[in-house]
Amino acid sequence: MLPYGRQSIVEDDVAAVAEVLRGDWLTTGPQVQGFEEDLAGWTGGVGCAVVSNGTAALHTAYAAAGVGPGDEVVVPPMTFVATASSAVALGAKVVFADVEEETFTLDPAAAAAAVTSRTRVVSAVDYAGHPADYDALRRSLAGSDALLLADAAHSIGATYHGRPVGSLADLTTFSFFPTKNLTTAEGGAVAATDPAVLERARRFRNIGLVRDRAEQRWPDEGGWHQEVHEFGLNYRLPDVLCALGRSQLRRLGDFLAARERLVRRYDEALAELPGVLLPARRSWARPAWHLYPIRVLDGRRREVYDRMRAAGIGVQVNYIPVHWHPAFADLGYRRGSCPVAESFYEQQLSLPLYPGLSDTDQERVVDALAAALRGAPAASAA
């Protein structure tokens, strides 16, 4: 089965991990700070806190923003469930706001309509690697104390009006899962423009421990003393995985260029294919292209999905609208509330896209898609 996404690991990555394994640190050590500093080179200098996975990044960011019971968090439904469920885990109420027609990122007008005096965070999602319209979203928060969060699980390395993702919102979260644009196996990060918010994120990911004597309530207990002032969790990303991340980050520019080239090839090959719509992009964005999401028209998405899977092409659907999940349905959320996202879901299909995808395999994807749309059986891999 040709996967829809996969990691790219080379000998430099293996050597970086092996070097740490032979050293003194496996958990929190010098590679953690090094990885955070390296990441800041891609966020326009905005400080980062690395964490154990992308969901942990969202949970940590919401906690650092002060999200708690009685607060509201505005979320688009076209995302992985963690963008919403991690806010619920802190006691917040999620308010779903619809997405824009072309990019399927959070609609600023829908966000503005969803903001109330109880809104603590508005979370945009850079769907498929295309940045949301952050200037318009910032205007939608006018008169509110809410913070703007960018869920950039898909978009590290992307730019918006020439500005890097990571510098566009008050908080930004990244994911380094194997299918993402770089990997630490599992892993993620939180970037925050306010140093005080970043420090809260770093404490939360480290169980809330306060080791700085100047900030302790009882600093004279002894050299062993540490305190917890606010509860946190163990979301630390270990040195050994940070070493992998640093090695991967050195190739991020190459990864992005490879994805961009493959997207151009898909655009050219599929431009005249009837029955599908290709992903759009805005002139002010340079996407990171985590996904290549097409739309299959005329109610044929399930049929095309099944035919392509039978042909050995690992197409995927990204994502089920979050408010459709039973956990949210049981809380009273109903279908029909976000018609743009829901209509897109009914058509969406992600084609394989990753830096190591060969031209030959990409042509195989194109042929299988054309065959599926014709209703003909596609040849499976030998």
Q: How many CB atoms lie within 10 A of CB 196?
A: 9
Tens place of pLDDT per residue across the chain (382 aa): 999 999 999 999 999 999 999 999 999 999 999 999 999 999 999 999 999 999 999 999 999 999 999 999 999 999 999 999 999 999 999 999 999 999 999 999 999 999 999 999 999 999 999 999 999 999 999 999 999 999 999 999 999 999 999 999 999 999 999 999 999 999 999 999 999 999 999 999 999 999 999 999 999 999 999 999 999 999 999 999 999 999 999 999 999 999 999 999 999 999 999 999 999 999 999 999 999 999 999 999 999 999 999 999 999 999 999 999 999 999 999 999 999 999 999 999 999 999 999 999 999 999 999 999 998 655 555 4
Closest CA to 136 of 345, 281, 284, 278: 284
Domain residue limits, the chain: 11-249, 252-374
Q: What is the DSSP letter of 27?
A: S
Question: Could you tell me which CATH number the domain at 11-249 has?
Answer: 3.40.640.10
Report the predicted TM-score, pTM, of the whole model to 2 decimal places.
0.96
Same fold, 11-249 and 252-374: no
What lies within 8 Å, CB to CB, of 53 at 6+ separation is 175, 176, 177, 186, 187, 188, 235
- Listed in order, strand segments (DSSP E) in the chain are 48-51, 72-75, 93-96, 119-125, 147-151, 159-160, 163-164, 171-175, 188-192, 209-210, 227-228, 276-277, 285-286, 292-296, 348-351
Residue 305: both structure tokens together: 């999905």
Closest CA to 369 of 326, 316, 311: 311
Show the DSSP H helices in 186-315 as ranges.
195-204, 239-249, 252-270, 301-310
CATH homologous superfamily of 252-374: Aspartate Aminotransferase, domain 1 (3.90.1150.10)
